Chains A and B, each alone.
Chain A
Amino acid sequence: MRSKSLIAILMSFSLAACAGGGGGFGGYSLVQPKARAVANGKMTVTPPRPWNRVPRSYYDIAEEENWTLNGPILDSIGFIAALKDGKAIVRQRRKEDRQVPVFRSNMTPPEIVSMIESLYRIRGGAAEFAMTGLKPATFLGRQGYQLDYDYLDQNEIKRRGRSYGAVIHGRLYLMLLDATRMHYFEHALPDFETMARGAVLRS
């Protein structure tokens, strides 16, 4: 009963978002394999093959953009660019019991990881989340991090993720690949790596 009404609510929001966002009828739009500004135009990535841009949902923040190859349940890449101090990586109500922690410009890498982990636990229903790697990495030409993680989603599907990110002039920039551990993660990883390596900051 509840899920039905929720789906109805989500649909009405995404339709409204489509109408306003120019994402085309149905919302998904093709991303051509050439340099493209993403996430409010704050960074440029170059996909090695065509991807699909996911229509904006009610829960998306202005600073993000999401792509998929086979549908977001199987694989997706999220981009967040120039997120300000004090903002969360997801849209949420101020009085929500459970809230994804807000980004702080002085966050240490483990704190950024735990912010991402809370997103999965609170919004993704992940009961099990394991960081499998966190190491320094260059992203957008700056010192940043590479995070790897595995988790079990609310549908009991084993998933895997990788994220590159950096805090530049006090703002958060990140890319995040999220896919099923079986097949789709490995399948999308080369594209993700290519895009992350070639990502360029736009002023």
Chain B
Amino acid sequence: MSLEISRRALLAGGGCLCCAGLTGMAQARIAPSAMTPLIGPGYKPLETDEKGLWSQYERIEQDIAGSNLLIKDPKLVAYLGGLAGRVGGPAARDLRVYLAHIPEFNAFMAPTGFMVVFSGLLTRMRNEAQLAGVIAHEAGHFLRKHQIRAWRDVRRKTDAFTMLGMGLGGLSAAGGGFAGIGDLYQLAQFGTIFSLAQYGRDLEKEADATGLRLISEAGYSPIEMSNTWSQLIAEIEASAAMRKKRPFRGTSLLASHPAPADRMADLRASAVEIQASGRSYDAGRDRYLSIIAPHKAMLLDDQVKLNDPGASLYIIQNLAKDGWSGTLRYYEAEIWRLKGKGKGADEARAVQGYAAAVQMPDAPAEAWRAHGYSLLKSGQAEPGKRALARYLAMKPAASDAAMVRYSMAQ
């Protein structure tokens, strides 16, 4: 089929960089208490170069605000805005959060105070503290003026025109400024370039330490930031293992560097120090799960249909630590079905998974459909038809009802 190659497929490699950043050699840990914000409420740029950067990003924000790719569910958007308000430090009232319907582990902070959170983050987080940690890390970039500091730093070292070509060139390439096709993808790409070229490991460490300070001040369990990291690392490793290759995503993030482990260790050590104060912290798990619940099936669907079985299985099994549900069982079975390469074992796992899913009271209608078809395939006509009938009863207006009825009549 003549599809353009997905820019997202390209970006997936460096996608996590915006919040993961570039990491490198072991360096001294930055104490969260040292991370005082460099800006106050209502911050506006003062210098000419920063004003220029702002005006570019103000146009980008206008485009993003009108993007078809945004998830605009008012409750969810208000929730994310509320979280930014809780962990945004002095910028709490200035931060704007946009939720992009892109199933990647990613978030992006603009120098003007808006951030883009990708829906793939919501798929993966186990509690509110983890999500707040990512938002706080991004807020940390803003509060510590990382974009303009990095911009100036690189300009000192390299030819300014080269930087313009690398950075803002990406904007004008979209056609007459940023207004053009694929705004969010362009932005994700631009963000990656920005990270690669400019956020060094020092700034990522600063953002980590700032984020940790912000979430713990807001009462969130500080250990959750390092848990997010260990989940991401485990997911990438699981993805690679399933495809029988070395863990590698865009950069040598995990190939041979101990750096992510270092960063995780720093976050963990700082969290332990903070927790030693004796204050009680909350992960906000129940609140998070109830907010996400109406969107859970969509988020899992987005992930599972990418057919990255190692990553998807890791994500589902990680979420299942909080308890299995019919939805999780169904999507676990879907992973095996999509992976299936005719060796029998994958398909058998899928069939068992559907059968297990429909045993659960909250099994989605699709689990009954899949279960029904798998029974029909194995020659169990009557139970298969009953399962398909159950699907139609749960979803009388299903868009494939005509096909299902036809299958039942065979």
Contacts and interface: CB of A to CB of B under 8 A. Distances in A.
B7 A90 contact: no
Contacts of B339: 101
A123 B6 contact: yes
B399 A133 contact: yes
A145 interface: yes
B337 interface: yes
Interface in A86-120: 86, 89-90, 94-102, 104, 106, 108-111, 113-114, 117-120
Interface string B69-113: 100000000000000000000000000000001110000000000
A85 B10 contact: no
A72 interface: yes
Nearest to A54: B2
Interface stretch (A30-38, A152-160, A182-190): A152-160
B10 A6 contact: yes
B342 interface: yes
A154 B399 contact: no
Contact of B181 (A86, A89, A95, A156): A156
Contacts of B321: none
B341 to A, nearest CB: 6
Contacts, number: 159
Nearest to B118: A127
A195 interface: no
B192 to A, nearest CB: 8
Contact of A78 (B2, B7, B184): B2
Contacts of A106: 377
Contacts of B370: 110
A133 B400 contact: yes
Given A97-B243, A124-B3, A154-B7, A86 B399 contact: no
Size bracket, chain A contacts: 35 or more
A77 to B, nearest CB: 9
A104 B181 CA distance: 36
Contacts of B319: none
Interface in B160-182: 166, 170, 173, 181-182
A156 B9 contact: no
Nearest to A115: B338
Contacts of B373: 108, 110-111
26 contacts: A1-B170, A57-B2, A78-B1, A80-B1, A86-B341, A94-B243, A98-B308, A99-B307, A102-B340, A102-B341, A104-B340, A117-B305, A118-B305, A118-B338, A119-B1, A122-B9, A122-B306, A124-B4, A125-B8, A133-B399, A133-B402, A134-B400, A136-B403, A152-B69, A155-B182, A156-B68
Interface of A: 1-3, 6, 10, 54, 57, 59-60, 64, 66, 68, 72-73, 76, 78, 80, 85-86, 89-90, 94-102, 104, 106, 108-111, 113-114, 117-125, 127-136, 145, 148, 152, 154-158, 176, 178
Pairs of residues from A and B, 9 with the lowest C-beta to C-beta distance, nearest first: A125-B6, A134-B400, A135-B402, A155-B181, A66-B2, A124-B3, A156-B68, A125-B8, A136-B406
